[in-house]
Amino acid sequence: MGRLDRKVAVITGAAKGLGKQMALTFAAEGADIAICDIEEMDATAKGIKDLGRKVLVLKADITKKDEVDKFFSSVMDTFKKVDILVNNAGTTRNVGFFDMTGEDWDFIQDANLKGAFFCTQVAARYMKERKYGRIVNMSSVASVSSRPIATVNYQCAKSGVIQLTRACARELGPYGITVNVMAPGIIVTEMTYLNRSRETVDKMVDEGIKRTPLGRLGTPKDVANLALFFALDESSFISGQLIVLDGGWA
């Protein structure tokens, strides 16, 4: 407890699922939290307050640069600094390869890759002034595996997040900023059910457990714990790295 005392963490896509769990985990370690999403974040905000931490809540579409600028301006007005950024916001659209349109492609690239770039660019401008920062990106096991667990547009976007991480680690390292990326396996959250029936998800979960050497799927807490490690000073010499959280599945 208290390993993030006096730190300010910005977490995107924090209304529910992984983003919510990471926000609560960071708050439990003493960080004040700024969260954004395009959905209501009342439950996440209440959880942070119940842990005794300050929270800033602002609806923002991270695919729009002006909204990203406004969000981070509010963070600076409220907390005066940004120590940690977790680029968690993202989504999927389950469209088959031959049915995929240009709009399907662009929507997923924007939500998962362009938004992470915008947030990283803006946050890093504030971080470089203090020669300190921790940036954690969210990819997926789908980006490093040929198994058909995601659509082509999503796999390509999440692969781009890995390369964004490596490129930004080189660009931002001289300013004391580390940039790392997580690639979770199957983690059942609200997003898992987007455009999927419960029967389809149940089948995916059963197959995932059978294929995972550890005999279980990951949980949001597993992901939050890794994000926390990347945010701590104990990881200060780790940058540009990818860690896959899949129980040995890939």
Residue 92 vs residues 35, 113, 195, 221: alpha-carbon distances, Å: 21, 12, 9, 21
How far is the C-alpha of 190 from the C-alpha of 19, rounded, in Å?
11
Question: Per the structure block, which two tokens stand in for 37?
Answer: 């999403």
Evaluate whether 72 touches 66 at the Cβ level (below 8 Å): no
Strands (E) in 38-83, as ranges, are 55-59
Measured distance CA(157)–CA(131) in Å, rounded: 29
The answer to whether 109 and 161 are in contact (CB under 8 A) is no
Candidate list 126, 154, 175, 193, residue with the active-site label:
154
- Which of these, 21, 101, 6, lies nearest to 53 by C-alpha position? 6
Length of the chain: 250
Tell me whether residue 154 is one of the annotated catalytic residues: yes
Catalytic (active-site) positions: 154
